[in-house]
Amino acid sequence: MAVMSEINGSGAGKDHFTKRQTLLVAASTVVAAALGVGCVFAVQDAFAAGDASSAQQYTGQPAAGLHGGYGYGGGYGGGVSGQSGSSSGSAGSASGSASESGSDADPFGGNAYGQASGTTTAATAAQSRGIVLIDTQLGYQSAEAAGTGIVLTASGEILTNNHVIEGATSITVTDAGKTYTATVVGDDPTDDIAVLQLQGASGLATARLDTTHSVSEGEAVTGVGNAEGGGTLVAATGEVTGLDKTITTEAEQSAASETLHGLIETDAAIEPGDSGGPLFDSSNKVIGIDTAASSSGAADGYAIPITTALVIAKEIEAGNAGGNINIGYPAFLGIELGETDASGLGSAQGDASSAGAQIAGVVANGPAEEAGLSAGDVITAIDGTAVDSADALQSVLTAHAPGDDVSLTWTDTAGQSHTALVTLTQGPAA
């Protein structure tokens, strides 16, 4: 497996793959900067190079080079120095490389990833059965996004990619023209799977799943999804070009490295917004979940096999948390963490003699701010258990649920120690 330390969108001789997750619709730089959120879309676009490849994640809307994002998955953000991000909405260049600038560009202005267009048409009635449009609000990033999902049950269980709903503070799903509010049943960020539940849904048409078909190279397939966030289902035809493929994304900013294994490769032109949508066989049965695609050159897409996705979905539906699986929403402390050195000491502000997790900022009206914490403070313990690093803080908070009360101990910038009871709230989808 090839691993590259740095990848540029315009790098000569390099092929790039990007997760076709949530398509950025709008973002406010002013609000994002005010929140102290740098890399506001660092979790939203990932690149890989080559077959069984390494990828580099990149940011979306610029945010004045502030620190990493707020409080997902255990109550805090990435804790690394943010940099001005590029717009994921600017049009791809003629050479097919991903554009890295133009934050005011129309997010629908051409193919934002420069991918060569394949054969696409409106999805047929058979291809639209049990396939839904997903729209999310990312409240802490002042943005909206769009993706696709697959109806598993008539009562409204929806299968999609985790990255489609990651960071969402509200989710709506549209099925056959009717829009529902959705909640997160659970997710598996490592394997990029999530299950949603529609509120008040009944009698929905479910997708036709093919769990016995043995996928082979050369067979005809069709990818269907909410391409470019256009609000309609679009079908892209192609063939299976590879099996059991691996893509590794490379850590950058607050986005951690991740690897997806066992993927189906196709030359169907998978677009931004298609993530979570079906890869159909020639009988219009689902054999995979559209997840990633080439950002340059000829169309080259990737899908998670439906059999793999359903194994994970069943664990989520059963409420079996643990391993890679999270049930429901994470607890939220509402802080942004600053950089720390290897010993966990705050590197920029506060009492550098105190080991702990240093705070770079707090969410307005969040639990941390209401308890009196502010930028520069260093969290040193939770419920009497010492916290000596950002990772330690995350580990402790991940074990808690929204509504839990925790005793928080911290040292302020004057070196004074404080302890307060804090009630954790519900965070964005992890």
Using CA atoms in the order 185, 188, 189, 193, what is the torsion angle rounded to 10 degrees?
Answer: -80
346 assigned to some structural domain? yes
Query: What CA–CA distance (Å, rounded) separates 259 from 146?
Result: 23
Q: Which residues are catalytic?
A: 163, 192, 275
Q: How confident is the model at residue 298, as a pLDDT? A: 75
320 assigned to some structural domain? no
357 assigned to some structural domain? yes
159 assigned to some structural domain? no
Between these two residues, 88 and 248, which has the higher pLDDT value? 248
5-14, 66-75, 116-125, 388-397: which is most confident: 388-397
Query: What CA–CA distance (Å, rounded) separates 227 from 277?
Result: 10
Q: How confident is the model at residue 8, as a pLDDT? A: 20
Query: What CA–CA distance (Å, rounded) separates 257 from 204?
Result: 37
Checking if the pLDDT of 387 tops 70, the result is: yes
Q: How confident is the model at residue 143, as a pLDDT? A: 85
422 assigned to some structural domain? yes
Query: What CA–CA distance (Å, rounded) separates 390 from 129?
Result: 45
Domain count, the chain: 1
Q: How confident is the model at residue 295, as a pLDDT? A: 65
Q: Report pLDDT digits (tens) over 191-237.
A: 999 999 999 999 999 999 999 989 999 999 999 999 999 999 999 99
DSSP letter (8 states) at residue 72: B
Q: How confident is the model at residue 36, as a pLDDT? A: 23
Q: Report pLDDT digits (tens) over 392-418.
A: 898 888 889 999 999 999 999 999 999
Q: How confident is the model at residue 15 (pLDDT cuts 50, 70, 90)?
A: very low
Between these two residues, 297 and 44, which has the higher pLDDT value? 297
Q: Locate tokens 């709506």: which residue?
A: 172
Query: What CA–CA distance (Å, rounded) separates 250 from 78?
Result: 15
CB within 8 A of 402, min separation 6: which ones? 328, 329, 330, 331, 332, 424, 425, 426, 427
21-25, 117-121, 207-211, 342-346: segment of lowest average pLDDT: 342-346
42-63 as b/e: b if 16+ CB within 10 A? bbbbbbbbbebbbbbbbbbbbb
396 within 8 A of 386, measured Cβ to Cβ:
no
Q: How confident is the model at residue 140, as a pLDDT? A: 83
Q: How confident is the model at residue 297, as a pLDDT? A: 65
Q: Report pLDDT digits (tens) over 254-313.
A: 334 568 999 999 999 999 899 999 999 999 999 999 998 876 667 889 999 999 999 999
Q: How confident is the model at residue 103 (pLDDT cuts 50, 70, 90)?
A: very low
333 assigned to some structural domain? yes
Q: How confident is the model at residue 354 (pLDDT cuts 50, 70, 90)?
A: low
335 assigned to some structural domain? yes
Q: How confident is the model at residue 430 (pLDDT cuts 50, 70, 90)?
A: confident
Query: What CA–CA distance (Å, rounded) separates 316 from 169?
Result: 20
Domain that holds residue 364: 329-426
Of all residues in the chain, the percent with pLDDT exceeding 90 is 53
Check which CATH number belongs to the domain holding 378 and give it. Answer: 2.30.42.10
Q: How many CB atoms sit inside 10 A of residue 34's CB?
A: 15
Q: Is 7 helix (H, G, I), strand (E, B) or coil?
A: coil
342 assigned to some structural domain? yes
Q: How confident is the model at residue 175 (pLDDT cuts 50, 70, 90)?
A: very high
CB within 8 A of 137, min separation 6: which ones? 143, 144, 168, 169, 170, 171
52-66, 229-243, 288-302, 339-353: segment of lowest average pLDDT: 52-66
Q: How confident is the model at residue 339 (pLDDT cuts 50, 70, 90)?
A: low
Q: How confident is the model at residue 395, as a pLDDT? A: 85
Between these two residues, 150 and 344, which has the higher pLDDT value? 150
Q: How confident is the model at residue 111, as a pLDDT? A: 39
Q: How confident is the model at residue 118, as a pLDDT? A: 53
Q: Locate tokens 């995979």: which residue?
A: 288
Q: How confident is the model at residue 425, as a pLDDT? A: 94
94-133 as b/e: b if 16+ CB within 10 A? eebbbbbeebebebbebbbbbbeebebeebeeebbbbbbb
